[in-house]
Amino acid sequence: MMGSVNEDIRQYILSEFLPGETASNVQDDTPLRTSGILDSMATLRLVGYIEERYGIEVEAHEASVDNFETVGAIASFVAGKGGATS
């Protein structure tokens, strides 16, 4: 189940923020925030997408570098919030 969340998030990041990039360039451990792939506005858009897609609420303090630095961290965060993949 976790793999599909990772893949879903990876595809969203690629299509929204890195058009033309190949999926292999965004690994589960690729830094997204500290590398500059996601700025604060992009992170807000990603949070909105995750809330809508997985039916969870992300508190402001939860949208931190800890939770949103990598695809793997985001997927773990979604799983920890009980996000559904319907």
Predicted pLDDT of residue 24: 93
CA separation for the pair 69, 84 (Å, rounded):
21
pTM metric for this prediction: 0.90
pLDDT tens string 22-39: 999 999 999 999 999 999
**How does residue 85 score in pLDDT terms, banded at 50, 70 and 90?**
low
What pLDDT score does 1 carry? 47
Residues 37-81: pLDDT tens digits?
A: 999 999 999 999 999 999 999 999 999 999 999 999 999 999 999
Contact 21, 60 (CB under 8 A): no
Contacts of 34 (CB under 8 A, 6+ apart): 65, 69
Structural domains in the chain, sorted by start: 2-80 (1.10.1200.10)
